[in-house]
Amino acid sequence: MPNRVQRSEIRDRGSKDSRKALAFTGLVALLLVAGCRHDMQDQPKMFPQRGSELFADHRGARPQVVNTVARGQLDQDSYFYTGVVQGANGYKEEKNEMPFPVTAQVLERGQERFNIYCTPCHSRVGNGLGEIVQRGYKPAANLHDSVRMSQPISHYFYVMTHGYGAMPDYSAQLRPEDRWAVAAYIRALQLSQAATTADVPSGVQVQNLQELAAQQGHADYAQPWTLPATAVQSLPPNPAQGSPALAPAGPPVTKIQIPASKPAPAAAK
């Protein structure tokens, strides 16, 4: 009989100890969860456009450190990054020159980028009748008309950087060197569509594209392009409305001022 009572007491003590251990474990887990939630909510971090008590001026957005240049922002050649220079009258001026030599590799890169980003609106040959124009979008600029042919090559870089009319900018899609490559390819494309026999070296035989197409059974190829009926409109460009794509004209170009460099401080004696 005593042995049976002792075994019962041992079981009771064991169950009580188990319940205490379980309760302690649950309490510890609850404290850990609560502490984790607190850290996630109130962790020290900066919120955009909010103040901060960490700095003396209470500004969370910090100004750039004086006399320093952030990585990737050393734009020493401003023409390479902007496509414009300051003219004699103080206004922005485009130039008809490339900031680096044009090689076959540059033209190939420009053709590749042009076919990816430009052909949906301007088409592969640059006549402004791309696929989306045939599906109701505004007609894009014809890169072979007299206006576009007379524009300096940096004009195309500037348009790709900032957009123009209905055309958005492509600065996020194209790096500066790729924008220049596309501009160089546009020049080559213009030459290819406006070339004459006088541009061909002597001794080189030239065949008419229309005749070649007819020989291959595609007489409808290499014919004058017409604006599709699905285009938004087929009216001639109106300079008062801006161009390309007959978009509203933008504000006039503001005058820029380039401050003169400050003289270096005299060396201490």
Q: What is 219-258 written as a DSSP string?
A: TTTT------TTSS--PPP-GGG-SSTTPPP-PPPPP---
Same domain, 30 and 134: no
Q: Are residues 27 and 128 in the same domain?
A: no
In the three-class reduction of DSSP (H, G, I as helix; E, B as strand; rest coil), residue 51 is classed as strand
Domain range for 103: 76-192
CB 152 within 8 A of CB 95: yes
**pTM of the complete model:** 0.57
Give a yes or no: residue 120 inside a domain. yes
Residues sharing a CB contact under 8 Å with residue 106, sequence separation 6 or more, in sequence order: 100, 180, 181, 184
Question: Tens digit of pLDDT for each residue in 170-226?
Answer: 999 999 999 999 999 999 999 888 777 788 888 888 777 778 888 888 877 666 666
Task: Tell me the CATH number at 130.
Answer: 1.10.760.10
Could you report the per-residue pLDDT of 92-145, keeping only the tens digit for each? 889 999 999 999 999 999 999 999 999 999 988 898 888 888 787 888 888 988
Asked if residue 179 is part of any domain, the answer here is yes
The count of C-alpha atoms lying within 13 angstroms of the C-alpha of 237, restricted to the half-sphere facing its C-beta, is 18
Instruction: Note whether residue 186 is domain-resident.
Output: yes
Residue 222 inside a domain? The answer is no
Q: Total domain count for the chain? A: 2
Same domain, 94 and 11: no
Bridge partner residues of 94 (DSSP): 84
The enclosing H or E element of 149 equals: helix 146-150
Q: Are residues 136 and 188 in the same domain?
A: yes
Residues 86 and 142 in one domain: yes
